[in-house]
A = this chain, B = another copy of it.
């Protein structure tokens, strides 16, 4: 039985922020997720990538205990995204989305991926997410989504939510999907759609989690320079599920998500995240405990 199977994009990003610019930087939801989750647990990846993607990154993930049997390396171009984070804005302006090999992404995971404790469906079309639910046996399934699917594939999205254990969603998306204002009212409404746990990511407001009658909220760890917010949400989900997989409870997982994503934004791409150890996360968790203590 696998610990975590994660499915998503592996990409090359052109990113511009008020702190600088990067061309062809390592990115993708699965990449950020896997670096984050592998701090805590074993991740088996499902993805597709071109030969234009730096193969040493795949090698590094293997060294970190990830299984890449489910990652196809093909002739062709990797998923490419370009965006600008303008000063004062939390969300990027997307300049370019080239799906490349990801266009045809409809994976049948290998035999060794048949069963997992945790299945993570990154930001994919709801219809692909639905198909994937029947291709892998899981104990817990978590997913992310985005404004594009909420606007254009709302019905399919609502159809899979009752199957979902943990929904990760950001504040704007939560408001869009629920029709409510504010992350907490949105969270409550989204629970009615079926997921057992809803986690709303809210930038410097950190994250709020509703789960049955339980509500938890952790402010973001104060980062003096947010160099590049790309991948913050995926790192959050990776930290959260990695922690859960390694035996921590949901509240601890929430705090780990906040801690790990705070490292991710301290540099472009995965520069900071790739060097983070369990000890670093523990130290930051301690600082978050001090931050909220009164």
Q: Which residues of A are at the interface with B, using a C-beta cutoff of 8 A? A: 18, 87-88, 175, 181-185, 188, 202-206, 208, 215-220, 222-226, 251-252, 254-255, 285, 289, 291-294
Contact between A184 and B293 (Cβ–Cβ < 8 Å)? no
Question: A175 touches which one: B88, B181, B223 (CB < 8 A)?
Answer: B88
CB atoms of A291 and B216 under 8 A apart = yes
Q: Is the CB–CB distance between A219 and B217 below 8 Å?
A: yes
Residue on B nearest A87 in the bound complex, by CB: B181
Closest 9 CB pairs of A and B: A205-B205, A184-B222, A217-B219, A255-B294, A292-B292, A251-B294, A88-B181, A219-B219, A252-B294
Interface of A is mostly: mixed
Q: How many copies does the complex hold?
A: 2
Please name all residues of chain B whose beta carbon is closer than 8 Å to the beta carbon of A202 when the two chains form the complex. 204-205
Q: A251-B294, A289-B294 are in contact. List 6 more A-B contacts (CB 8 A).
A: A183-B204, A206-B219, A208-B219, A208-B222, A215-B291, A292-B292
Q: What's the Cα separation between A183 and B291 when bound, in Å?
A: 15
Asked if residues A222 and B226 are in contact (CB atoms below 8 Å), the reply is: no
- Contact across chains for B205 and A206 when beta carbons are under 8 A apart: yes
B204 and A291 contact, CB distance less than 8 A: no
For A223, the chain B residues whose CB sits under 8 A away are 182, 184
Question: Given B88, B175, B251, which contacts A293 in the complex, CB threshold below 8 Å?
Answer: B251
Taking A88-B175, A204-B205 as contacts, is the C-beta distance between A292 and B185 under 8 angstroms? Answer: no
Shortest Cβ distance from A218 into B: residue: B292
Q: A181 — which chain B residues lie within 8 A by C-beta?
A: 18, 87-88, 226
A85's nearest neighbour on chain B, judged by CB, is: B181
12 A-B residue pairs with Cβ-Cβ distance under 8 Å, sorted by A, are: A182-B204, A182-B223, A183-B204, A185-B224, A202-B204, A204-B205, A204-B208, A208-B219, A215-B222, A215-B291, A218-B292, A251-B294
Check B188–A224 contact: CB distance below 8 A. yes
Known: A18-B181, A226-B182. A254 touches B294 (CB 8 A): yes
Q: Which residues of B contact A188 (CB under 8 A)?
A: 224
Closest to A258 in B: B294
How far, in angstroms, from A202 to B205 measured CA to CA in the complex? 8
Task: Point out which of A223, A224, A292 has the most chain B C-beta atoms below 10 A from its C-beta.
Answer: A292
Q: Which residue of B lies closest to A217 (CB)?
A: B219
**A185 engages B225 (CB within 8 Å):** yes
CA distance A285 to B251 in the complex (A): 19
Known contacts A251-B294, A294-B216; decide if A204 and B224 are in contact (CB<8 Å): no
Interface centre among A202, A251, A294 (most CB of B within 10 A): A294
A86 nearest CB neighbor, chain B only: B181
Give Cα A224–Cα B218 distance, bound, in whole angstroms.
17
Please, how many angstroms separate the alpha-carbon atoms of A63 and B255 in the complex?
44
